[in-house]
Structure 1
Amino acid sequence: MTLTIPTLLTLFRILLIPVLVVVFYLPYPWTNFAAAFVFALGAITDWLDGWIARKWHMYSAFGAFLDPVADKLAVATALILIVQGHPTLFMALIAAVIIGREITISALREWMAEIGQTSRVRVAAIGKIKTIVQMVALVMLLYREPLLGLPIFRIGEGLLAVAAVLTLWSALAYLRAAWPAMRGDHARTGGGSGGGRRDA
């Protein structure tokens, strides 16, 4: 198996996850900046590997599998760290909604692939918008300190709430697209999609 540049970037993004955890718990005053930087670096490489894959057609089945896994691991880890650092009911509920949605849609996609109906659950524009808002919110929440007089943490909380709403909206869109297959109104065609990256 040949590792493409996008796949190497995705692997790098996965390696950043334990770095994020370690940095988050370091007993230094600059750890909030470092944690936000590590997560932002991962988000940038997420965009970069997709751009490279599209521009130079560097697609692979392994990359198509690994990319959404890396995204979900990074987001779930960041949410767990933020909830641990700020254990409020609001933050716990938002994290549960976002992580629960990821588990649900991942299971839905796996099932749809098994019955050969993967094309019904393609990424919608709302999923891409959700991803952008979510990433910005998580960077702010990891940074958490005021910046230039702005309450960064509070802004991050608001953006994460927006991301949670978009998360539910996109999940309903996926479920609606898959509903005919879930009711049994489909013909089994076998197989799934071949590759390419997915942003959910």
Structure 2
Amino acid sequence: MPWNIPIMLTWMRVLMIPVFTVLFYPPIKYWLDPQTINWAAAIIFAAAAVTDWFDGYLARRWKQTSDFGAFLDPVADKLMVAVALILLVKLDRTTALYAMIIIGREITISALREWMAQMGRRNSVAVATIGKLKTTAQMAAILLLLIGMQDFYGLDLILIGNILMFIASVLTVWSMFYYLKMAWKELGR
């Protein structure tokens, strides 16, 4: 396993997950007020999102890409998003339907990418613009829902977060069918 800054950033993201999760469980809940917990969780999630972008950028720029990094990076992303969605459903800030759509799509596309890679056709399901739009809407929604304020300078962040979560869910389904279509074309060749 190679050790370099991009992989260390990815491992840092993996290690943020238990810290992020423990914020919502005792005894932390009794030591900190709820809004401090919300902001801390949002900051950790935002840091994870930034390191996700940054580790990929550095790996490409410094030519430090590796098979292990290509494996670990999406695993870290999907784990952080899944944990955040489950916590948001538990906190009653979003619906389980959105979480099921997003987590289900992530599992499906990850399995599809693995299958296509085994067939030597990984590039047929490479990240597309629709996937990037989905990720942007999803990350913004989760961030707003983690902050969880209904009156943030006159803005209802939970309402806005759920509107973005709806958009992310639509883009999630759309992107899933896009990737399945690309894979189907490859299989037909």
Q: Same fold (TM over 0.5)?
A: yes
Distance in 2, Cα, partners of 1:125 & 1:144? 29
Aligned-partner residue type, residue 16 of structure 1: M
After TM superposition, list the pairs within 5 Å mapping 1:136-155 onto structure 2: 136-145=140-149, 146-155=151-160
1:46 to 47, 52, 55: 52
Distance in 2, Cα, partners of 1:79 & 1:120? 28
Aligned-partner residue type, residue 132 of structure 1: T
Distance in 1, Cα, partners of 2:69 & 2:105? 22
**1:159 to 2:161 alignment:** no
Show the counterpart of 1:21: 21
Show the counterpart of 1:191: none
Distance in 1, Cα, partners of 2:47 & 2:93? 25
Show the counterpart of 2:130: 126
Aligned-partner residue type, residue 12 of structure 1: M
SS at match of 1:149: coil
Question: In the comparison of the two structures, how many residue pairs are matched?
Answer: 182
Deviation, structure 1 residue 87:
7.2
Show the counterpart of 1:170: 175
1:106 to 96, 107, 110: 110
After TM superposition, list the pairs within 5 Å mapping 1:1-40 onto structure 2: 1-25=1-25, 26-27=28-29, 28-29=32-33, 30-40=36-46
SS at match of 2:23: helix
Taking structure 2 as the reference length, what is the TM-score of the superposition? 0.91
More helix by share: 2
**1:117 to 2:121 alignment:** yes
Where does structure 1 differ by over 3 angstroms across 4 or more consecutive aligned residues? none
Deviation, structure 1 residue 58:
1.8
Mean CA deviation greater in 114-123 or 148-157: 114-123
The alpha-carbon distance between structure 1 residues 51 and 87, as it changes in their structure 2 partners (threshold 3 A), is: closer
Distance in 2, Cα, partners of 1:147 & 1:24? 21
1:55 to 61, 67, 92: 61
Instruction: List gaps (5 residues or longer) in structure 1.
Output: 187-200
Deviation, structure 1 residue 180:
3.2
Instruction: Say whether the 8 Å CA contact 2:125–2:182 is kept in structure 1.
Output: yes
Instruction: List gaps (5 residues or longer) in structure 2.
Output: none
Distance in 1, Cα, partners of 2:54 & 2:82? 21
Distance in 2, Cα, partners of 1:40 & 1:95? 19
Larger relative contact order (C-alpha < 8 A, sep ≥ 6)?
1
Aligned-partner residue type, residue 71 of structure 1: D
**1:93 to 2:86 alignment:** no
Identity of aligned residues (%): 53
